[in-house]
Structure 1
């Protein structure tokens, strides 16, 4: 994958540097609650925080279902240098409101990386917002508003949905509905889009420098961006720019995809190879 990174802040209509200033001051530790930490993107978020120079300025809370608590604790054990706690929460049960209120007390940012492992498809639900993971995200957002959370980062990280029509037949229109929900709650939020994730992940590396002439228009050509780089950019935004500076922003980070086929010496079959 040729890592020509394009980063846009759509609302500000200007490009941002991919490496944000390490000297940006923080007045107090930032408490971040991560929803979906054991999923596709979550482990990369923890790794990116652990790799950041300001990792000691972050307090991390992993929110997880009771059935996934052991998996969450095992994940947390990989990052002994982080201030990290695990909070088991039943998002839809009778005690959901009480559990979420306790887990979110004192939290500055909720970072949602929920996906879906329910096995449900378009045949079962009309859109993504009706999947269990995204129903839990709604519940967390509601509790976050009550808890005084300063910023909510919904699970996007794919194709842009903020301009999608509410009557769209796209399966991911549920994410667009969630934006309206956040606005009704008057809960500040930030959107981050990354295009597709590659099937083969390169080794984690820091983000490259970006100049304005490197900017790539949205939508052309197709993109793939590694999970670690998406996570690293989100962490840069939160720890280097600060919550107030990024609230209300729409950010895009995408690597230019270049894929090729290669014949495996072992199987004789053509396999997809990631060019870095």
Structure 2
């Protein structure tokens, strides 16, 4: 049996978080994982429903008061190996209100958790990305999503290893859940009938597969993309500084 992992999830009751719990529950090594949900006081009700739905998981809830500097984070993150962030933002703020995503309340919270994670000795941080690639955006860019790139810079300054996973946009109408099959260069297996669209569950299953099957040491510092019929790993070329894609087998 694989060694146990201690995972903290930020944003568990959002649009992606429940799928991450579902994917963990479906993994063969689910029984070896200890999970901690970091919940705002306002989301405790939704989180309790998730706990009831996943009685099979070793799952605890830690209520964090982010209005008080993240009170409770230090103890909640002690002994945690990986933090998976699935934060979005439900503040209602838009481009008209803030300069970039990093100034939205949800992503300010992510910065707070990252700093506490470093202090607690967390080994790997998975920031909330899951859309278009942001690692190559210049830090002085006027792009609205530059806030995500600024968060990468924070993680580097903290010396906290991180994993980037991109998926592109999700379909407006999500089809029924289907498994994420293994693939090889000789026999790539489509995930659904053409045209294939990556769903939130496929993304969640892919993140879980990377962490559980590859291992946190192997994927730390990696840039991965779940894209259509293929799973790809992005590598930064030492010659050009640009991302080059190779099939992840």
Match of 1:237 in 2: 210
- Runs of 5+ consecutive residues of structure 2 not aligned to the other structure: 189-194, 230-249
What is the deviation of 1:73? 1.1
Match of 2:227 in 1: 254
Q: Is the 8 A contact 1:190 1:246 kept in 2?
A: yes
The answer on 1:67 being equivalent to 2:42 is yes
Using the alignment, how far apart are the partners of 1:120 and 1:229 within structure 2?
A: 29
Q: 1:168 to 1:214 in 2, by over 3 A?
A: farther
Using the alignment, how far apart are the partners of 1:214 and 1:252 within structure 2?
A: 19
| Correspondent of 2:54 among 36, 56, 79 | 79
Deviations 1:121-179 (A, max 9, x none): 01100000000000000000000000000000000000000011112221111000000
Deviations 1:184-242 (A, max 9, x none): 00000000000001111121111134333789xxxxxx984100000001001111111
Match of 1:158 in 2: 131
- The alignment partner of 1:116 has SS state of coil
Using the alignment, how far apart are the partners of 2:62 and 2:168 within structure 1?
A: 30
What is the deviation of 1:92? 3.3
Using the alignment, how far apart are the partners of 1:251 and 1:231 within structure 2?
A: 13
Match of 2:168 in 1: 195
Q: What is the TM-score when the length of structure 2 is the normalising length?
A: 0.86
Q: 1:223 to 1:136 in 2, by over 3 A?
A: farther
Q: Is the 8 A contact 1:223 1:254 kept in 2?
A: no
- Runs of 5+ consecutive residues of structure 1 not aligned to the other structure: 1-24, 216-221, 257-276
Q: Which moved more, 1:164-173 or 1:118-127?
A: 164-173
- The alignment partner of 2:227 has SS state of strand
Q: What is the TM-score when the length of structure 1 is the normalising length?
A: 0.77
How many residues get paired? Answer: 223
What is the deviation of 1:35? 0.2
Larger RCO of the pair (alpha carbons < 8 Å, separation 6+): 1
| Correspondent of 2:65 among 80, 90, 105 | 90
Match of 1:16 in 2: none
Match of 2:116 in 1: 143
Match of 1:40 in 2: 15
Using the alignment, how far apart are the partners of 2:112 and 2:57 within structure 1?
A: 27
Match of 2:247 in 1: none
